[in-house]
């Protein structure tokens, strides 16, 4: 299963992510136009076993790919979920060239299949 690259525009969120069961490849994409790392991504393996956490600052899109049979992922967010402010980057944008370390075709929700490419996305200053 692959959870697409989500972010909120007006009510941006920072997120602290951890896994309490299973393993995921956690992904963050910098959407801050003024940043030298704009459009770059970082992937971190999070698992119940390695007990690592990932801080994703405001201005980043976030997604993950489940690497185990199942996974339970927990978030702490700096602001409330605002559905009207949520945006989705397409997970397989050729401009981003994200290495999801996939084995076969992923299961992707209809919402995540409708994500937009980086060049069409609302971004941050």
Q: Please give the positions annotated as active site.
A: 6, 75
DSSP at 83: G
Q: Which runs of consecutive H residues, i.e. helices, occur in the chain?
A: 110-113
E strands, the chain, are 2-8, 15-21, 23-30, 41-47, 53-56, 60-66, 72-77, 86-89
* Angstrom distance (rounded) from CA 24 to CA 47: 6
Cα–Cα distance between 118 and 89 in angstroms, integer? 7
């Amino acid at each position: 299963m692959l959870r697409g690259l989500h972010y909120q525009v007006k009510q941006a969120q920072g997120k602290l992510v951890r896994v309490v069961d299973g393993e995921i490849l956690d992904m963050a994409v910098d959407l801050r136009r003024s940043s030298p790392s704009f459009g770059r991504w970082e992937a971190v393996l999070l698992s119940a076993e390695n007990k690592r956490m990932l801080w994703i600052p405001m201005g980043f899109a976030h997604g993950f790919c489940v690497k185990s049979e199942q996974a339970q992922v927990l978030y702490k967010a700096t602001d409330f979920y605002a559905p009207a402010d949520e945006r989705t980057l397409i997970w397989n944008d050729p401009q981003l060239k994200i290495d999801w370390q996939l084995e076969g075709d992923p299961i992707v929700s209809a919402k995540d299949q409708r994500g937009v490419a980086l060049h069409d996305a609302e971004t941050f200053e």
